[in-house]
Structure 1
């Protein structure tokens, strides 16, 4: 994960050497996550201590980008949440794999609401960042669809579209968290230290409310998300099925 920082440093250095005018950096709202529920998080709500090493390195990488301003590089950082759509190789492929293995359970009561970002909306935010001027520069921006949804509604929508059984089994948060801790410990002791199939961070993410305030992006970047989550999920399902057609 330290590669987050080193890679960013290399990119910044390359931009300065080649006299690139502007760098739009893709960061992550994971920097805000502290294991608790939060609604309407603003950009300045960065914790004093980070919940995990990944969040710490993402924020440090972001600071490396902003540090280049003094050398004349125009910079903007975007923090998009749960990006999905055609080409999503991160969120839903893992969930589909777990459901096919019958390992996916609703953590807690299943009512937690979260933000997603449709791929096309992120592309619009990137374009707006390239065209931004004046006071819009030098800032970090939360990016999402701006319409929080219950996480498990979105997951089960994908399951239906992919003709898989919906996730109906519930597991208490405490039990899920404990099982993940045991799984992490076992993987640490196992030869080769394989990646845990369950993690404490994963259980927290699947159980907690987590939404962003995108008013800064609306104001400075004129960001107006147009593509709904459901459209993005349809695009993901169509793309995924085409990729895995027999």
Structure 2
């Protein structure tokens, strides 16, 4: 089968492309011109198309001749761009994908959303029927707007769509989140947000990639449906951080900072950054998004995905962290080796 993967050079996109090629699919990867595609260029059954999903002509060219689309391209994170940038990619870019899917009669579009559409201040076990709740950041608002557009436009254009809502993805190659968290634990700068007994919505990258493939292969019953994808092992913040600490062979993390205090600090930092005109630069040292992600209780049901897609997480937290740590340490030693060569 010939498939298109948007966001193919991203953390999740790279792994999805690898798994698709392994199973024999012919992959067309859509990548921004400035992105590193060197690894993909060396592999068979991967065709590179450079361009941007905000350009309808590029999207039309990329979708022509494919049977299935995995739409991963998105502006992520709660900081670093103006609101209109998020909307141009996460909403208008999605509309371009939908229109091109209709034009080229795509058999199925698998859209990657996020559990952020449910909000982060949650109570109880959350299913796919939970209402939208936007957090106070452009990422959350744009992902909800994208899902609403998808629901309306896919019906009007009669495009078969399946939506996947992953939780907090981690694993090898995740320098933005997992790598940064590991570095904080390694240098003894990590602490527990609140009691540490809240459930964190982590999910290993391979499990998410497999859920996308399952969504593409599922029967017609999956069309028009949304599926939450997390690890239902019910890992607490304390367990997650200290599984990493144990792998690093550093002291366990026990220091606690009240969640209320952290939220006050987060809001204050964000206000100061905005007053200084730094919305589109690096984020402040602490953000409300990061606090809620790590410190708030987030329990999601995967029963629908298990029942209708056959989804079953293969990586528990011990196995996932071990794989992530192997990548982190290899990357660290490679960096040290390069520095030592430069100073000789």
Aligned counterpart for 1:50 among listed residues 134, 149, 153: 134
Is the contact made by 1:25 and 1:65 (CA closer than 8 Å) also made in structure 2? Answer: no
The answer as to 2:100 corresponding to 1:11 is no
CA distance in 2, matches of 1:159, 1:127: 33
The answer as to 2:148 corresponding to 1:63 is yes
Is the contact made by 1:27 and 1:78 (CA closer than 8 Å) also made in structure 2? Answer: yes
The answer as to 2:320 corresponding to 1:229 is no
Residue 290 of structure 2 is matched in structure 1 by 202
TM-score by length of 2: 0.65
Q: Which runs of 5+ in 2 are unaligned?
A: 1-85, 337-344
CA distance in 2, matches of 1:233, 1:213: 22
Is the contact made by 2:201 and 2:230 (CA closer than 8 Å) also made in structure 1? Answer: yes
TM-score by length of 1: 0.89
Residues 56, 188 of structure 1: alpha-carbon distance in 2 compared, 3 angstrom cutoff: closer
Q: Quote how far apart the aligned CAs of 1:163 are.
A: 4.2
CA distance in 2, matches of 1:114, 1:191: 32
Moved more, 105-114 or 183-192: 183-192
Moved more, 206-215 or 96-105: 96-105
Aligned counterpart for 1:152 among listed residues 191, 213, 238: 238
Residue 20 of structure 1 is matched in structure 2 by 106
Residue 162 of structure 1 is matched in structure 2 by 248
CA distance in 2, matches of 1:211, 1:90: 23
Is the contact made by 2:171 and 2:178 (CA closer than 8 Å) also made in structure 1? Answer: no
CA distance in 1, matches of 2:278, 2:316: 42
Residue 48 of structure 2 is matched in structure 1 by none
Q: Greater relative contact order: 1 or 2 (C-alpha under 8 angstroms, separation 6 or more)? A: 1
CA distance in 1, matches of 2:186, 2:323: 21
Residue 271 of structure 2 is matched in structure 1 by 185
Residues 185, 98 of structure 1: alpha-carbon distance in 2 compared, 3 angstrom cutoff: farther
Residues 59, 191 of structure 1: alpha-carbon distance in 2 compared, 3 angstrom cutoff: closer
Q: Quote how far apart the aligned CAs of 1:175 are.
A: 1.6
Residue 239 of structure 1 is matched in structure 2 by 327
Residue 213 of structure 1 is matched in structure 2 by 301
Highest CA radius of gyration, 1 or 2?
2
Q: Which runs of 5+ in 1 are unaligned?
A: none
Is the contact made by 2:99 and 2:157 (CA closer than 8 Å) also made in structure 1? Answer: no
Aligned counterpart for 1:38 among listed residues 113, 123, 130: 123
SS at 1:113 equivalent:
coil
